[in-house]
Amino acid sequence: MSGPPGARGRRTGLLLVLPALVPVVAVVGAALTSALLAALGLAPLVGEPRLTGAAFTAPADQLASAVPLSLAIAAAATAAAAAVGLALALAAVATARRSRLLGALSAATVPVPHLVGAAAMGLLLADAGFLPRLLGVAPEDWPALVGGRWWVAVVAEYAWKESAFVALVVGGVLASRSRSYGETAAVLGAGRWARFRTVTLPLAAPALGAASAISFVYVLGSYEVAALLGRAAPEPLPVLAVRLSTSIDLAARPQGAAVAVVTAGLALLAVVLALRALRRLAAWG
Amino acid sequence: MMTYGPATLTDLVADGTFPGTTRVLTLEEGTFGNASFLAVPSTSGDSAGALVVADLALSPEQQLAKADPATWGQFTVLDLDRLDPADRRGFEQLPASPVVPPYEELAANAQPELSAGWVTALDEGWRRAVLGG
Amino acid sequence: MSGELRLTGLTRVHGRGRPPALDGLDLAVPAGSCVAVLGPSGSGKSTVLRLTAGLDEPTRGSVHLDGRDLAGVPPERRGVAMVFQRPLLFPHLSARDNVAYADRVRGAPRRRARARAAEFLDLVGLAGLGDRAPRELSSGQEQRVALARALAAEPRVLLLDEPFSALDAPLREEMHELLVDLRARLAPTVLLVTHDPAEAAALADTVAVLEAGRLQQHGPVAELHARPASLSVSRLLGGRTEVPGQVRAGVHHSPLGALALPGPVADGPGVLVVRPEAVALAAGHADVTGTVVRVRYRGLRPLVTVDAGGVAVHAELTPGDDVVAGAVVGLRLPVAARHVVPVRPG
């Protein structure tokens, strides 16, 4: 009954996603192409086009600090979002009645813009923010969560927002299957922890992996939260790219494009690695 | 308060924004001068028209109007010695201010503005050493 | 691996003011036997299994396994295993690892659990398919793996919740044969839930008929067929002829006439039921004469409805007994097949 989809089914599927695919390819393709041309010196603001890798080598030392910083922020935020999101999803499917409230809360978080979230996180966590006031901690005793060395507010904002996304995706998958499989495992002798480890987690893994990959790539390429809540130096990739692109030094613009291209390349690499890992997981999904 | 246009203080004192005791602080070690520039992008579609506008902005009439505290109160960039006597008289007849010292006193010991080439380097140093330090 | 299951006064009310899903069920499943709970959908039969497995808590009553009260014991420590209507094979595990699951969660080493799993796969006729992923199996194979997985857990009671009703008829027949073989070899205690009287008859030693949460009758299949306790039991088991009348001195009087009954029955109003397969065309003397109003076929067997004085008599004839609608026929209702169901007061 469930044979492999034939070439015909694949073609129909392709036709169905085409309306979504065309604008994405057009927009992303145009943006990447122009960034690549600018980065390679082929679209200079002044002077003659000349193929050169100078835009990549000139900000090398800044890239050397921006790449690990961006990867670390994205990894930390994604790990936190995945853990919190999974917990939310599990809580939501544990009892049907509570799930509506949790679902509504998660769903309400998703449409809040990151900029608004960042502003709220800044007002909450800054040394003169709501939280230190609530706890009665003097500003000078409060750790530098906003603009500090450890990018706590930035990671917290991304984790908060992405955890709702993860919860929504994972919760949707678990809602339809975790109960029946959980009961099956229980009557086969699996206790609560064994059921979580051997059934719930593997069932959630493909959705959790996909949602985490999307979160990671999003955080890697996202500008506003890092710009608003982050430290001025060192900079993560998107902030570096925007600063170089808007510098009064016109010669820095190709460097901004080069940083953007490096960011896109990293994101692409992350997607490819995630897809390869997911294909193994989704073989049974 | 800090301002790029000290000549406006006369009006601000007159309309009561600042008290009558307001004085301008001059720095003994000297100060950086700051002038407004007009630039025409190399890629401008109509540089001839832009140059006409620039000439107009630098004309004695426009400069005088700009120097009038009732209009803007910015000191002129023109060298008065090289003006027609009639134009020079217009500048000389501008009211003296009880608040703002004359241009000669303010500009004494002033350093010329930094070369534009320093701007990014200074920005970068500030960002790394002060904000990120 | 077979235990004795006893359900006492088992009751489950899902919400205040709602009729109980299950109402005071008493049922004993002797060790090594197979009891089928038969009922239409919504009769509460699945509730029986969920309460037994510990997936749901009874409002009242108790579940005893080998004399031990299972109240408050979680499903994973009850020593029961369950096969559902859907196979529910864990999609991330191979067929072999699905069967090895119970051993693995109990801490058995992987190698030993897999070796045992291979034996159980062999037992259900799937030797050599252990490496397959669930999605690479047919629906019949999937359900065989599910059965092997439940058996490998070595439950003291095996609970089967309509396990074959999603399969098409030939596969269902195969699974029935498999289960009969497994019973012969392993003698597990089985509590089976089904809505199909043929399945109950094929697999179970005794059948408990459930309707609206209440036990109607419990006994061997033959007894339920021959002497249904109520019209609903009769109907559920495929009985169709129902003749209202009066019993006087062991004889049923109705528009069909006076028909002698096989055993002593109390006088008073009663409904005569006769199973269609017991009714035959009369060669000589006819108990009932009437006009054929409908003929349809089940395989080669004609299913005939005869109008006898305003009463519909249903007969499942032998192949070759071809009658046509409109014909006047004589029918024989064997005395041993006549049974009177008392008219329920009210």
pLDDT digits (tens, 9 = 90+) for C26-36: 999 999 999 99
Q: Give the Å distances, CA to CA, from C33 to C28, C147, C156.
A: 10, 17, 11
Query: What is the C-alpha to C-alpha distance for residues A261 and A53, in angstroms, rounded to an integer?
Result: 12
Question: Is the pLDDT higher at A7 or at C137?
Answer: C137
Structure tokens belonging to residue A249 = 């030094």
Is the pLDDT assigned to residue C143 strictly greater than 50?
yes
Nearest beta carbon to residue A232 from set B43, B119, B131: B131
Which residue is closest to A235 within chain B, CA to CA?
B132
Residue written as tokens 């299950």? C22
Which residue is closest to C100 within chain A, CA to CA?
A188
Give the distance from residue C132's alpha carbon to the nearest chain A alpha carbon, in angstroms: 11
Query: What is the C-alpha to C-alpha distance for residues A82 and A64, in angstroms, rounded to an integer?
Result: 27
Question: Is the pLDDT higher at C42 or at C103?
Answer: C103
Contacts 24+ apart (CB under 8 A), A102-108: A102/A167, A102/A171, A103/A168, A103/A171, A105/A164, A106/A164, A106/A167, A106/A168, A106/A171, A107/A164, A107/A168
Count how many domains chain B has: 1
Query: What is the C-alpha to C-alpha distance for residues A96 and A224, in angstroms, rounded to an integer?
Result: 37
Contacts 24+ apart (CB under 8 A), A263-269: A263/A70, A263/A220, A263/A221, A263/A237, A263/A238, A264/A32, A264/A35, A264/A221, A266/A67, A266/A70, A266/A71, A266/A220, A266/A237, A267/A217, A267/A220, A267/A221
C138 Cβ contact list (under 8 Å, min separation 6): none
Q: Give the Å distances, CA to CA, from C155 to A134, A181, C31, C66, C208.
A: 57, 18, 12, 12, 22
Cβ distance of B127 and A233 shorter than 8 Å = yes
**Three-state SS for C229?**
coil
Residues constituting chain C:
346
pLDDT of amino acid C1: 60
Nearest beta carbon to residue A248 from set B119, B131, B132: B119
Q: Is C107 on the interface with A (CB under 8 A)?
A: no
Which residue is closest to B131 within chain A, CA to CA?
A232
Give the distance from residue C70's alpha carbon to the nearest chain A alpha carbon, in angstroms: 14
- Please compute the mean of the pLDDT values over residues C217-242 and round it to a whole number: 92
Q: Is A233 on the interface with B (CB under 8 A)?
A: yes
Query: What is the C-alpha to C-alpha distance for residues B132 and C337, in angstroms, rounded to an integer?
Result: 99
Which of A1, A178, A184, A203 should one mutate to test binding to chain C, selecting the residue with the greatest count of C CBs within 10 A? A184
Residue written as tokens 């009211």? B95
Which of C49, C92, C156 should one mutate to test binding to chain A, selecting the residue with the greatest count of A CBs within 10 A? C92
Residue written as tokens 């239409």? C40
Give the distance from residue C149's alpha carbon to the nearest chain A alpha carbon, in angstroms: 8
CATH 3.40.50.300 corresponds to the domain C5-226? yes
CATH 1.10.3720.10 corresponds to the domain A52-282? yes
DSSP-derived pairing of the beta strands C301-308 and C288-298: antiparallel
pLDDT band at B27 (very low <50, low <70, confident <90, very high): confident
User: What is the per-residue burial (b if ≥16 Cβ within 10 Å, else e) of C231-260?
Assistant: bbbbebbebbbbbebebeeeebebebeebe
Q: Decide if B1 is inside a domain.
A: no
Give the distance from residue B48's alpha carbon to the nearest chain A alpha carbon, in angstroms: 19
Nearest beta carbon to residue C102 from set A189, A283, A284: A189
Query: What is the C-alpha to C-alpha distance for residues C72 and C57, in angstroms, rounded to an integer?
Result: 8
Neighbours of A47 (CB within 10 A): 9
Cβ distance of C159 and A284 shorter than 8 Å = no
Q: Chains B, C in contact: 3+ Cβ pairs under 8 A?
A: no
Question: Is the pLDDT higher at C272 or at C42?
Answer: C272
pLDDT of amino acid A7: 64
Range of the domain at B61: 6-131
Residue type at A54 in one-letter notation: A
Residue written as tokens 């145009």? A30
Query: What is the C-alpha to C-alpha distance for residues A81 and C77, in angstroms, rounded to an integer?
Result: 35
Q: Is A183 on the interface with C (CB under 8 A)?
A: yes
Which residue is closest to C101 within chain A, CA to CA?
A188
Residues constituting chain B:
133
CATH 2.40.50.140 corresponds to the domain C239-342? yes
Per-residue pLDDT of chain A (285 residues; tens, 9 = 90+): 444 455 677 788 888 888 888 999 999 999 999 999 999 999 887 788 999 999 999 999 999 999 999 999 999 999 999 999 999 888 888 766 556 777 777 778 888 899 999 999 999 999 989 999 999 999 999 999 998 889 999 999 999 999 999 998 998 888 888 889 999 999 999 999 999 999 999 999 999 999 999 999 999 999 999 999 999 989 999 999 999 999 888 889 999 999 999 999 999 999 999 999 888 776 554
C300 Cβ contact list (under 8 Å, min separation 6): C319, C320
Phi, psi for residue C155 in degrees, rounded to 5: -75, 155
Q: Decide if B40 is inside a domain.
A: yes
Mean pLDDT computed over every residue of chain C = 92
What are the boundaries of each domain within chain C? 5-226, 239-342
Which chain B residues touch A if contact means CB-CB below 8 Å? 42-43, 119-120, 127-128, 131-132
Q: Is the ipTM of this complex over 0.90?
A: no
Helices A96-109 & A60-94 angle (0-180, nearest 10): 150
In contact, C319 and C298? CB cutoff 8 Å: no
